[in-house]
Amino acid sequence: MAEHCPVHVAVHDADFDAGALTKTLYQQAGAVGAVATFVGLVRTDDEVQALCLQHYPGMTEHSMQLLADEASARWPLLGVVLVHRVGRLLPGEQIVYVGVASSHRREALTACAYLADQLKTRAVLWKQEQRADGSRWLEPTSADNASVAAWQQAEPPAQ
């Protein structure tokens, strides 16, 4: 585990610049050898007209910070950036950015996947899908829950 892993967590309705966020990870102090990122988008299929995300200010950021801390404790990370949008988002728009820096590729890729899975089910956010035939609140799917359960079973790699 890195002695100090800078973490940036943000929740807002404005779009984000994934390239600029990634650049901050490249510039982390230490021996950055790998940066892994994930950008989630509003699906453009299934007749989705919009996705409305609500949050509880302060609590949402805290839940995301806890996830970043968990990842930093599990893998030797040099930086973590988590950004989640809220409000009404249209198909194709960016929802979430997950970025991690590490000295090595495997840790960066694994921690990025871990955080993307955890955010989907554990971040304090409420999602409502709007369609032509009405709207519905979204819950994590069984596949989402299975992904999180698999992380609980997995042992962290030896360091």
The residues, any chain, with a CB within 8 Å of residue 152's CB and separated by 6 or more, are none
Q: Phi/psi of residue 106, each to 5°? A: -60, -45
Tell how far CA 145 is from the center of its chain: 15
- The CATH class that applies to domain 7-147 reads alpha beta
- State pLDDT tens for residues 72-131: 999 999 999 999 999 999 999 999 999 999 999 999 999 999 999 999 999 999 999 999
Amino acid at 43: R
Q: In the chain, what are the domain boundaries?
A: 7-147
